[in-house]
Amino acid sequence: MLAALRPLAVPDEGRYAEIGRWMLQSGDWLVPRLNGIPFFHKPPLLHWLQAGAMALFGEHAWSARLVPGLSAGLMLLALYLSARTLVDETVARRAAVMLGTGTAFLIGGQYVNHDMLVASWIGIAIWCFALAFLHGERPHAGLARLGFIACALGVLAKGLIGLALPGLALLAWLLWTRQLRKVPYLPWFSGLALFALIALPWFVLAQRQYPALFDYLFGAQQFGRYTGKTFNNPQPGWFYPVGLLLLLFPWAFWALAQIGRARRVAPALDSRVLALCWCWLIAIVGFFSVPRSKLIGYVLPVMPALALLASLGWQRTMVHRRWARPVFAALTALALGIAVTFTLLADRYTRNKTTGDIAITLACRMQPDDTLYAVGGYPYDLPFLIQARRPMVVVQDWAELRRSAGDSWSRELFEGADFEPAAGRLLQSPDVLPIASAEPGHWMVAPNDHPAGTWQLGWVRVQQGSGWSLYRSAPERPEPAQYKGLPGCRDHRGEQGQR
Protein backbone atom coordinates (compact mmCIF):
# COMPACT_ATOMS: atom_id res chain seq x y z
CA MET A 1 0.00 0.00 0.00
CA LEU A 2 2.80 2.44 0.87
CA ALA A 3 4.27 1.90 -2.60
CA ALA A 4 1.25 3.59 -4.18
CA LEU A 5 1.25 6.67 -1.92
CA ARG A 6 4.03 8.70 -3.52
CA PRO A 7 5.57 9.49 -6.91
CA LEU A 8 8.91 8.13 -8.01
CA ALA A 9 11.78 9.66 -6.07
CA VAL A 10 14.77 11.02 -7.95
CA PRO A 11 17.38 10.14 -8.83
CA ASP A 12 17.29 6.44 -7.89
CA GLU A 13 13.67 5.49 -8.46
CA GLY A 14 13.36 7.51 -11.65
CA ARG A 15 16.58 6.03 -12.99
CA TYR A 16 15.92 2.37 -12.22
CA ALA A 17 12.22 2.36 -13.06
CA GLU A 18 13.02 3.86 -16.45
CA ILE A 19 15.81 1.36 -17.17
CA GLY A 20 13.36 -1.49 -16.57
CA ARG A 21 10.67 0.18 -18.68
CA TRP A 22 13.09 0.82 -21.53
CA MET A 23 14.28 -2.80 -21.43
CA LEU A 24 10.69 -3.96 -21.85
CA GLN A 25 9.92 -1.46 -24.61
CA SER A 26 13.11 -2.02 -26.60
CA GLY A 27 13.23 -5.79 -26.22
CA ASP A 28 16.96 -5.56 -25.48
CA TRP A 29 17.33 -7.79 -22.42
CA LEU A 30 21.12 -7.87 -22.58
CA VAL A 31 22.04 -4.20 -22.20
CA PRO A 32 20.49 -2.02 -19.48
CA ARG A 33 20.03 1.47 -20.91
CA LEU A 34 19.38 4.91 -19.45
CA ASN A 35 17.95 7.26 -22.06
CA GLY A 36 18.97 4.75 -24.72
CA ILE A 37 22.61 4.79 -23.52
CA PRO A 38 24.28 1.70 -21.97
CA PHE A 39 24.18 1.76 -18.17
CA PHE A 40 26.59 -0.70 -16.58
CA HIS A 41 26.78 0.45 -12.97
CA LYS A 42 25.16 -2.80 -11.81
CA PRO A 43 24.28 -6.23 -13.28
CA PRO A 44 20.78 -6.57 -14.75
CA LEU A 45 18.69 -8.76 -12.39
CA LEU A 46 16.69 -5.81 -11.03
CA HIS A 47 15.96 -4.56 -14.54
CA TRP A 48 14.91 -8.00 -15.78
CA LEU A 49 12.49 -8.44 -12.90
CA GLN A 50 11.09 -4.92 -13.25
CA ALA A 51 10.56 -5.34 -16.98
CA GLY A 52 8.71 -8.58 -16.24
CA ALA A 53 6.53 -6.91 -13.61
CA MET A 54 5.65 -4.08 -16.01
CA ALA A 55 4.84 -6.57 -18.76
CA LEU A 56 2.33 -8.20 -16.42
CA PHE A 57 0.84 -5.16 -14.66
CA GLY A 58 1.62 -2.12 -16.80
CA GLU A 59 4.14 0.68 -16.58
CA HIS A 60 3.28 2.23 -13.22
CA ALA A 61 5.28 3.39 -10.22
CA TRP A 62 3.72 0.69 -8.04
CA SER A 63 4.58 -2.07 -10.54
CA ALA A 64 8.17 -0.80 -10.63
CA ARG A 65 8.16 -1.16 -6.83
CA LEU A 66 6.94 -4.75 -6.91
CA VAL A 67 10.49 -6.09 -7.14
CA PRO A 68 11.80 -4.48 -3.92
CA GLY A 69 8.48 -5.28 -2.27
CA LEU A 70 8.65 -8.96 -3.15
CA SER A 71 12.34 -9.00 -2.20
CA ALA A 72 11.43 -7.66 1.23
CA GLY A 73 8.78 -10.35 1.54
CA LEU A 74 11.36 -12.99 0.62
CA MET A 75 13.72 -11.64 3.29
CA LEU A 76 10.92 -11.83 5.85
CA LEU A 77 9.97 -15.40 4.91
CA ALA A 78 13.60 -16.56 5.03
CA LEU A 79 14.02 -15.03 8.50
CA TYR A 80 10.87 -16.69 9.82
CA LEU A 81 11.66 -20.16 8.44
CA SER A 82 15.28 -20.04 9.56
CA ALA A 83 14.55 -18.71 13.05
CA ARG A 84 11.82 -21.31 13.51
CA THR A 85 14.32 -24.02 12.61
CA LEU A 86 17.19 -22.63 14.68
CA VAL A 87 15.25 -21.44 17.76
CA ASP A 88 11.47 -21.85 18.02
CA GLU A 89 8.15 -20.69 16.59
CA THR A 90 7.60 -17.89 19.13
CA VAL A 91 10.96 -16.25 18.56
CA ALA A 92 10.58 -16.66 14.79
CA ARG A 93 7.19 -14.95 14.69
CA ARG A 94 8.37 -12.12 16.90
CA ALA A 95 11.48 -11.61 14.78
CA ALA A 96 9.33 -11.49 11.64
CA VAL A 97 7.06 -8.87 13.21
CA MET A 98 10.04 -6.80 14.30
CA LEU A 99 11.61 -6.91 10.85
CA GLY A 100 8.30 -6.36 9.06
CA THR A 101 7.40 -3.25 11.07
CA GLY A 102 10.86 -1.69 10.93
CA THR A 103 11.63 1.39 8.89
CA ALA A 104 14.24 -0.50 6.87
CA PHE A 105 11.67 -3.04 5.73
CA LEU A 106 8.73 -0.73 5.07
CA ILE A 107 10.77 1.99 3.33
CA GLY A 108 13.44 -0.16 1.69
CA GLY A 109 10.76 -2.57 0.50
CA GLN A 110 9.04 0.11 -1.57
CA TYR A 111 12.09 1.98 -2.88
CA VAL A 112 13.26 1.17 -6.38
CA ASN A 113 16.96 0.35 -6.34
CA HIS A 114 19.21 -2.68 -6.00
CA ASP A 115 19.61 -2.65 -2.21
CA MET A 116 16.65 -4.70 -1.02
CA LEU A 117 17.04 -7.20 -3.85
CA VAL A 118 20.68 -7.97 -3.10
CA ALA A 119 20.06 -7.85 0.67
CA SER A 120 17.43 -10.55 0.33
CA TRP A 121 19.71 -12.90 -1.61
CA ILE A 122 22.66 -12.26 0.71
CA GLY A 123 20.46 -13.14 3.69
CA ILE A 124 19.13 -16.28 2.03
CA ALA A 125 22.67 -17.37 1.17
CA ILE A 126 23.81 -16.96 4.79
CA TRP A 127 20.77 -18.78 6.19
CA CYS A 128 21.16 -21.69 3.75
CA PHE A 129 24.86 -22.20 4.37
CA ALA A 130 24.46 -21.77 8.13
CA LEU A 131 21.67 -24.34 8.28
CA ALA A 132 23.75 -26.64 6.09
CA PHE A 133 26.75 -26.42 8.46
CA LEU A 134 24.57 -26.91 11.55
CA HIS A 135 23.08 -30.07 10.05
CA GLY A 136 25.92 -32.25 11.38
CA GLU A 137 29.56 -33.10 10.85
CA ARG A 138 29.00 -32.93 7.09
CA PRO A 139 27.08 -30.00 5.65
CA HIS A 140 23.61 -30.65 4.22
CA ALA A 141 24.23 -30.78 0.46
CA GLY A 142 20.81 -29.57 -0.63
CA LEU A 143 20.84 -26.49 1.61
CA ALA A 144 24.40 -25.70 0.53
CA ARG A 145 23.38 -25.85 -3.13
CA LEU A 146 20.57 -23.40 -2.39
CA GLY A 147 23.22 -21.17 -0.84
CA PHE A 148 25.28 -21.26 -4.03
CA ILE A 149 22.17 -20.36 -6.04
CA ALA A 150 21.41 -17.43 -3.72
CA CYS A 151 24.99 -16.17 -4.09
CA ALA A 152 24.63 -16.32 -7.89
CA LEU A 153 21.43 -14.28 -7.77
CA GLY A 154 23.11 -11.83 -5.40
CA VAL A 155 25.94 -11.35 -7.90
CA LEU A 156 23.41 -10.76 -10.68
CA ALA A 157 21.62 -8.28 -8.42
CA LYS A 158 24.55 -6.05 -7.46
CA GLY A 159 27.88 -7.59 -8.33
CA LEU A 160 30.64 -9.08 -6.21
CA ILE A 161 29.08 -8.27 -2.83
CA GLY A 162 26.49 -10.96 -3.55
CA LEU A 163 29.31 -13.47 -3.07
CA ALA A 164 31.78 -11.58 -0.89
CA LEU A 165 29.44 -10.61 1.95
CA PRO A 166 27.99 -14.09 2.61
CA GLY A 167 31.52 -15.47 2.40
CA LEU A 168 32.88 -12.90 4.84
CA ALA A 169 30.12 -13.39 7.42
CA LEU A 170 30.22 -17.18 7.18
CA LEU A 171 34.01 -17.35 7.38
CA ALA A 172 34.00 -15.28 10.58
CA TRP A 173 31.27 -17.50 12.04
CA LEU A 174 32.99 -20.76 11.10
CA LEU A 175 36.22 -19.56 12.67
CA TRP A 176 34.44 -18.38 15.82
CA THR A 177 32.53 -21.64 16.26
CA ARG A 178 35.40 -23.88 15.13
CA GLN A 179 33.52 -25.42 12.22
CA LEU A 180 36.03 -24.62 9.50
CA ARG A 181 36.85 -28.33 9.16
CA LYS A 182 33.44 -28.85 7.54
CA VAL A 183 34.17 -26.58 4.55
CA PRO A 184 35.85 -29.27 2.36
CA TYR A 185 32.68 -31.36 2.58
CA LEU A 186 30.52 -28.78 0.84
CA PRO A 187 29.16 -29.92 -2.56
CA TRP A 188 31.73 -27.78 -4.35
CA PHE A 189 31.41 -29.29 -7.82
CA SER A 190 27.63 -29.14 -8.12
CA GLY A 191 27.41 -25.89 -6.15
CA LEU A 192 29.91 -24.01 -8.29
CA ALA A 193 28.31 -25.46 -11.42
CA LEU A 194 24.93 -24.05 -10.35
CA PHE A 195 26.57 -20.72 -9.48
CA ALA A 196 28.27 -20.51 -12.88
CA LEU A 197 25.15 -21.57 -14.78
CA ILE A 198 23.12 -18.75 -13.21
CA ALA A 199 25.63 -15.94 -12.70
CA LEU A 200 28.06 -16.12 -15.60
CA PRO A 201 26.09 -16.12 -18.91
CA TRP A 202 25.15 -12.42 -18.78
CA PHE A 203 28.68 -11.34 -17.91
CA VAL A 204 30.14 -13.44 -20.75
CA LEU A 205 27.67 -12.20 -23.37
CA ALA A 206 27.90 -8.56 -22.29
CA GLN A 207 31.71 -8.67 -22.15
CA ARG A 208 31.82 -10.10 -25.68
CA GLN A 209 29.75 -7.19 -26.95
CA TYR A 210 31.53 -4.54 -24.84
CA PRO A 211 35.17 -5.54 -24.14
CA ALA A 212 35.63 -2.72 -21.61
CA LEU A 213 32.73 -3.93 -19.44
CA PHE A 214 34.70 -5.77 -16.75
CA ASP A 215 37.13 -2.90 -16.23
CA TYR A 216 34.21 -0.52 -15.79
CA LEU A 217 31.77 -2.67 -13.81
CA PHE A 218 34.24 -4.36 -11.49
CA GLY A 219 37.07 -1.84 -11.62
CA ALA A 220 35.48 1.61 -11.57
CA GLN A 221 32.02 0.85 -10.17
CA GLN A 222 32.89 -1.78 -7.55
CA PHE A 223 36.52 -1.54 -6.45
CA GLY A 224 36.74 2.15 -7.41
CA ARG A 225 33.70 3.11 -5.37
CA TYR A 226 34.86 1.04 -2.42
CA THR A 227 38.37 2.46 -2.27
CA GLY A 228 37.83 5.92 -3.78
CA LYS A 229 37.41 9.24 -1.98
CA THR A 230 35.58 11.21 -4.66
CA PHE A 231 32.16 9.56 -4.58
CA ASN A 232 29.07 11.05 -2.98
CA ASN A 233 27.89 10.99 0.62
CA PRO A 234 31.00 10.80 2.83
CA GLN A 235 30.01 9.87 6.39
CA PRO A 236 31.80 9.25 9.72
CA GLY A 237 32.48 5.81 11.18
CA TRP A 238 29.47 5.88 13.51
CA PHE A 239 27.06 6.31 10.58
CA TYR A 240 25.99 2.68 10.27
CA PRO A 241 25.70 1.76 13.99
CA VAL A 242 23.45 4.77 14.58
CA GLY A 243 21.62 4.09 11.33
CA LEU A 244 20.82 0.54 12.39
CA LEU A 245 19.14 1.77 15.57
CA LEU A 246 16.90 3.95 13.40
CA LEU A 247 16.30 1.34 10.70
CA LEU A 248 14.94 -1.15 13.25
CA PHE A 249 13.57 1.37 15.74
CA PRO A 250 12.46 0.65 18.42
CA TRP A 251 13.30 -3.05 18.29
CA ALA A 252 17.06 -2.68 17.76
CA PHE A 253 17.55 -1.67 21.40
CA TRP A 254 16.57 -5.19 22.49
CA ALA A 255 19.35 -6.59 20.32
CA LEU A 256 21.79 -4.85 22.65
CA ALA A 257 20.65 -7.23 25.40
CA GLN A 258 22.38 -10.04 23.49
CA ILE A 259 25.86 -8.48 23.61
CA GLY A 260 28.32 -10.95 25.09
CA ARG A 261 25.85 -13.83 25.32
CA ALA A 262 27.11 -16.01 22.46
CA ARG A 263 29.21 -18.04 24.89
CA ARG A 264 26.87 -18.12 27.90
CA VAL A 265 23.31 -18.87 26.91
CA ALA A 266 20.62 -21.18 28.16
CA PRO A 267 21.02 -24.78 26.98
CA ALA A 268 17.84 -24.50 24.90
CA LEU A 269 19.54 -22.02 22.58
CA ASP A 270 22.60 -23.11 20.65
CA SER A 271 25.30 -20.49 21.18
CA ARG A 272 26.21 -20.86 17.51
CA VAL A 273 22.96 -19.10 16.55
CA LEU A 274 23.91 -15.98 18.49
CA ALA A 275 27.44 -16.22 17.11
CA LEU A 276 26.02 -16.36 13.58
CA CYS A 277 23.95 -13.23 14.13
CA TRP A 278 26.85 -11.26 15.59
CA CYS A 279 29.31 -12.36 12.89
CA TRP A 280 26.74 -11.50 10.24
CA LEU A 281 26.14 -8.08 11.75
CA ILE A 282 29.71 -7.11 12.55
CA ALA A 283 31.31 -8.43 9.36
CA ILE A 284 28.95 -6.61 6.98
CA VAL A 285 28.76 -3.36 8.94
CA GLY A 286 32.54 -3.41 9.24
CA PHE A 287 32.92 -4.03 5.52
CA PHE A 288 30.79 -1.04 4.56
CA SER A 289 32.29 1.21 7.23
CA VAL A 290 35.71 1.20 5.53
CA PRO A 291 34.87 3.49 2.54
CA ARG A 292 34.28 7.20 3.08
CA SER A 293 31.14 7.04 0.94
CA LYS A 294 28.29 5.50 2.93
CA LEU A 295 24.65 4.99 1.99
CA ILE A 296 22.17 3.65 4.52
CA GLY A 297 20.73 1.09 2.11
CA TYR A 298 24.05 -0.75 2.02
CA VAL A 299 23.43 -2.31 5.45
CA LEU A 300 20.03 -3.78 4.62
CA PRO A 301 21.63 -7.28 4.44
CA VAL A 302 22.14 -7.29 8.24
CA MET A 303 18.50 -6.60 9.10
CA PRO A 304 17.46 -10.29 9.48
CA ALA A 305 20.31 -10.92 11.93
CA LEU A 306 19.49 -7.75 13.88
CA ALA A 307 15.79 -8.68 14.01
CA LEU A 308 16.57 -12.15 15.36
CA LEU A 309 18.88 -10.66 18.01
CA ALA A 310 16.11 -8.22 18.96
CA SER A 311 13.57 -11.04 19.26
CA LEU A 312 15.93 -13.03 21.45
CA GLY A 313 16.59 -9.94 23.56
CA TRP A 314 12.86 -9.45 24.05
CA GLN A 315 12.54 -13.12 24.97
CA ARG A 316 15.18 -12.67 27.63
CA THR A 317 14.10 -9.36 29.16
CA MET A 318 10.39 -8.83 28.48
CA VAL A 319 8.42 -11.95 27.73
CA HIS A 320 7.73 -12.88 31.35
CA ARG A 321 6.45 -9.46 32.34
CA ARG A 322 2.67 -9.22 32.58
CA TRP A 323 2.54 -5.99 30.57
CA ALA A 324 4.79 -7.31 27.77
CA ARG A 325 1.96 -7.90 25.28
CA PRO A 326 0.40 -4.42 25.40
CA VAL A 327 3.86 -2.85 25.24
CA PHE A 328 4.71 -4.98 22.21
CA ALA A 329 1.46 -3.97 20.49
CA ALA A 330 2.09 -0.28 21.23
CA LEU A 331 5.64 -0.45 19.91
CA THR A 332 4.41 -2.22 16.78
CA ALA A 333 1.93 0.61 16.16
CA LEU A 334 4.69 3.15 16.79
CA ALA A 335 7.02 1.48 14.29
CA LEU A 336 4.29 1.38 11.64
CA GLY A 337 3.41 5.01 12.29
CA ILE A 338 7.04 6.07 11.84
CA ALA A 339 7.24 4.26 8.49
CA VAL A 340 4.02 5.86 7.21
CA THR A 341 5.19 9.30 8.38
CA PHE A 342 8.49 8.90 6.55
CA THR A 343 6.61 7.91 3.41
CA LEU A 344 4.37 10.99 3.56
CA LEU A 345 7.31 13.30 4.27
CA ALA A 346 9.26 11.74 1.40
CA ASP A 347 6.28 12.44 -0.85
CA ARG A 348 6.34 16.12 0.10
CA TYR A 349 10.09 16.32 -0.41
CA THR A 350 9.98 14.42 -3.71
CA ARG A 351 7.22 16.43 -5.37
CA ASN A 352 9.43 19.54 -5.39
CA LYS A 353 12.18 17.73 -7.27
CA THR A 354 10.29 15.65 -9.81
CA THR A 355 8.63 16.45 -13.12
CA GLY A 356 5.19 15.00 -12.39
CA ASP A 357 3.33 18.26 -13.03
CA ILE A 358 4.87 19.09 -16.41
CA ALA A 359 4.86 15.41 -17.39
CA ILE A 360 1.05 15.48 -17.55
CA THR A 361 1.08 18.35 -20.03
CA LEU A 362 3.93 16.92 -22.09
CA ALA A 363 2.47 13.41 -22.31
CA CYS A 364 -0.87 14.72 -23.56
CA ARG A 365 0.56 17.17 -26.12
CA MET A 366 3.77 15.59 -27.37
CA GLN A 367 3.49 13.47 -30.51
CA PRO A 368 5.38 10.17 -30.84
CA ASP A 369 7.92 11.50 -33.36
CA ASP A 370 8.55 14.79 -31.53
CA THR A 371 11.97 15.40 -30.01
CA LEU A 372 12.50 16.26 -26.35
CA TYR A 373 15.54 18.24 -25.20
CA ALA A 374 16.76 18.41 -21.58
CA VAL A 375 18.87 21.41 -20.57
CA GLY A 376 20.65 22.12 -17.29
CA GLY A 377 20.03 18.72 -15.72
CA TYR A 378 18.60 15.27 -16.31
CA PRO A 379 14.92 14.65 -15.45
CA TYR A 380 15.23 11.06 -14.32
CA ASP A 381 11.53 10.41 -13.87
CA LEU A 382 10.18 12.21 -16.95
CA PRO A 383 10.66 9.45 -19.59
CA PHE A 384 8.91 6.95 -17.29
CA LEU A 385 6.02 9.29 -16.50
CA ILE A 386 5.26 10.15 -20.12
CA GLN A 387 6.20 6.61 -21.29
CA ALA A 388 8.43 8.04 -23.96
CA ARG A 389 9.13 5.99 -27.06
CA ARG A 390 12.28 7.89 -28.02
CA PRO A 391 15.27 8.98 -25.93
CA MET A 392 15.80 12.62 -25.00
CA VAL A 393 18.55 14.81 -26.41
CA VAL A 394 20.54 15.97 -23.37
CA VAL A 395 22.16 19.36 -23.91
CA GLN A 396 25.31 20.35 -22.00
CA ASP A 397 28.88 21.49 -22.52
CA TRP A 398 30.04 17.88 -22.53
CA ALA A 399 33.71 18.66 -23.17
CA GLU A 400 33.81 20.72 -19.99
CA LEU A 401 31.82 18.15 -18.00
CA ARG A 402 34.27 15.40 -18.93
CA ARG A 403 36.97 17.47 -17.27
CA SER A 404 35.07 18.53 -14.17
CA ALA A 405 32.06 16.28 -13.50
CA GLY A 406 31.99 14.41 -10.21
CA ASP A 407 29.79 11.47 -9.29
CA SER A 408 26.76 12.88 -11.08
CA TRP A 409 24.06 12.25 -13.68
CA SER A 410 26.27 13.68 -16.41
CA ARG A 411 29.00 11.12 -15.71
CA GLU A 412 26.45 8.31 -15.91
CA LEU A 413 25.55 9.42 -19.41
CA PHE A 414 28.92 10.21 -20.95
CA GLU A 415 30.59 7.12 -19.48
CA GLY A 416 27.75 5.02 -20.86
CA ALA A 417 28.13 6.69 -24.24
CA ASP A 418 31.79 5.62 -24.31
CA PHE A 419 30.57 2.03 -24.69
CA GLU A 420 28.43 2.89 -27.69
CA PRO A 421 29.40 6.04 -29.64
CA ALA A 422 26.22 5.88 -31.74
CA ALA A 423 24.13 6.35 -28.59
CA GLY A 424 26.41 9.22 -27.68
CA ARG A 425 24.73 11.31 -30.36
CA LEU A 426 22.00 11.91 -27.79
CA LEU A 427 24.47 14.09 -25.89
CA GLN A 428 24.58 17.42 -27.72
CA SER A 429 26.07 20.87 -27.15
CA PRO A 430 23.94 24.04 -26.72
CA ASP A 431 24.49 24.86 -30.41
CA VAL A 432 21.54 22.61 -31.33
CA LEU A 433 18.96 24.63 -29.40
CA PRO A 434 18.52 27.67 -31.74
CA ILE A 435 17.97 25.35 -34.69
CA ALA A 436 15.54 23.16 -32.75
CA SER A 437 13.54 26.16 -31.52
CA ALA A 438 12.82 27.21 -35.09
CA GLU A 439 11.34 23.87 -36.13
CA PRO A 440 7.98 22.40 -35.11
CA GLY A 441 7.76 19.22 -33.06
CA HIS A 442 10.42 20.05 -30.49
CA TRP A 443 10.06 20.30 -26.72
CA MET A 444 12.48 21.31 -24.00
CA VAL A 445 12.62 20.91 -20.22
CA ALA A 446 14.92 22.73 -17.80
CA PRO A 447 15.19 23.05 -14.01
CA ASN A 448 13.61 26.22 -12.66
CA ASP A 449 16.88 27.13 -10.97
CA HIS A 450 18.90 26.83 -14.18
CA PRO A 451 20.36 30.30 -14.92
CA ALA A 452 18.61 32.20 -17.69
CA GLY A 453 20.60 32.58 -20.87
CA THR A 454 20.66 32.32 -24.62
CA TRP A 455 19.41 28.73 -24.41
CA GLN A 456 15.88 30.10 -23.90
CA LEU A 457 15.87 32.19 -27.10
CA GLY A 458 13.21 31.09 -29.56
CA TRP A 459 11.49 28.76 -27.10
CA VAL A 460 7.97 29.33 -25.75
CA ARG A 461 7.35 28.46 -22.12
CA VAL A 462 4.32 26.20 -21.84
CA GLN A 463 4.31 25.51 -18.10
CA GLN A 464 6.39 26.22 -15.02
CA GLY A 465 6.15 23.30 -12.63
CA SER A 466 7.30 23.03 -9.05
CA GLY A 467 10.82 22.07 -10.05
CA TRP A 468 11.05 22.04 -13.85
CA SER A 469 9.71 24.14 -16.71
CA LEU A 470 8.37 22.94 -20.05
CA TYR A 471 8.99 24.76 -23.35
CA ARG A 472 8.03 24.16 -26.96
CA SER A 473 9.58 25.32 -30.19
CA ALA A 474 8.01 28.48 -31.60
CA PRO A 475 6.24 27.00 -34.67
CA GLU A 476 3.35 24.88 -33.42
CA ARG A 477 2.59 21.67 -35.22
CA PRO A 478 -1.12 20.89 -35.74
CA GLU A 479 -2.36 18.15 -33.47
CA PRO A 480 -3.77 15.14 -35.36
CA ALA A 481 -7.49 14.56 -35.09
CA GLN A 482 -8.52 12.32 -32.19
CA TYR A 483 -4.96 12.45 -30.84
CA LYS A 484 -4.77 10.82 -27.41
CA GLY A 485 -1.19 11.70 -26.51
CA LEU A 486 1.63 9.45 -25.42
CA PRO A 487 0.76 6.39 -23.31
CA GLY A 488 1.61 8.35 -20.16
CA CYS A 489 -1.30 10.69 -20.87
CA ARG A 490 -3.97 8.04 -20.38
CA ASP A 491 -3.83 7.93 -16.59
CA HIS A 492 -3.86 11.73 -16.32
CA ARG A 493 -6.33 12.82 -18.98
CA GLY A 494 -8.95 13.77 -16.42
CA GLU A 495 -6.48 15.90 -14.49
CA GLN A 496 -5.21 17.49 -17.69
CA GLY A 497 -8.72 18.43 -18.70
CA GLN A 498 -9.14 20.44 -15.52
CA ARG A 499 -6.14 22.68 -16.27
User: Does 258 lie in the same domain as 192?
Assistant: yes
* Mean pLDDT calculated for residue range 112-117: 97
Q: Is the pLDDT of residue 396 over 60?
A: yes
> Which H helix or E strand runs over 464?
strand 459-464
So what's the pLDDT on residue 260? 59
So what's the pLDDT on residue 266? 45
Q: Is the pLDDT of residue 492 over 80?
A: no
Mean pLDDT lowest among 89-93, 298-302, 477-481: 477-481
So what's the pLDDT on residue 230? 62
Alpha helix locations (H) across 134-251?
141-158, 161-176, 188-209, 213-214, 225-227, 239-247
So what's the pLDDT on residue 259? 77
User: Does 441 lie in the same domain as 312?
Assistant: no
So what's the pLDDT on residue 499? 35
Q: Is the pLDDT of residue 465 over 60?
A: yes
User: Does 297 lie in the same domain as 196?
Assistant: yes
Q: Is residue 428 part of a domain?
A: yes
Q: Is residue 48 part of a domain?
A: no
User: Does 167 lie in the same domain as 120?
Assistant: yes
User: Does 446 lie in the same domain as 379?
Assistant: yes
Instruction: Among 349, 383, 403, give the residue marking a domain's end.
Output: 349
User: Does 443 lie in the same domain as 300?
Assistant: no
Mean pLDDT lowest among 286-295, 344-353, 392-401, 429-438: 344-353
Band of pLDDT at residue 261, cut at 50, 70 and 90? low
Q: Is residue 492 part of a domain?
A: yes
User: Does 421 lie in the same domain as 319?
Assistant: no
Band of pLDDT at residue 353, cut at 50, 70 and 90? confident
* Mean pLDDT calculated for residue range 159-171: 97
User: Does 360 lie in the same domain as 294?
Assistant: no
- Give the Cα separation of 277 and 282 in Å (integer): 9
Q: Is residue 23 part of a domain?
A: no
* Mean pLDDT calculated for residue range 10-22: 96
User: Does 302 lie in the same domain as 375?
Assistant: no
What average pLDDT is seen over the chain? 91
Per-residue model confidence as pLDDT tens digits over 45-101:
999 999 999 999 999 999 999 999 999 999 999 999 999 999 999 999 999 999 999
Q: Is residue 277 part of a domain?
A: yes
Would strands 37-38 and 371-375 be described as parallel, antiparallel, or unpaired?
A: unpaired
User: Does 197 lie in the same domain as 294?
Assistant: yes
Q: Is residue 193 part of a domain?
A: yes
Band of pLDDT at residue 479, cut at 50, 70 and 90? confident
Q: Provide the number of structural domains found in the chain.
A: 2
Instruction: Among 349, 370, 397, give the residue marking a domain's end.
Output: 349
Instruction: Quote the domain boundaries for residue 417.
Output: 356-497
By CB neighbour count within 10 A (0-12 exposed, 13-18 middle, 19+ buried), where does 19 fall?
A: buried
User: Does 248 lie in the same domain as 101?
Assistant: yes
For residue 293, give the DSSP letter.
B
User: Does 362 lie in the same domain as 290?
Assistant: no
**Contact in structure between 223 and 290 (CB atoms under 8 Å):** no
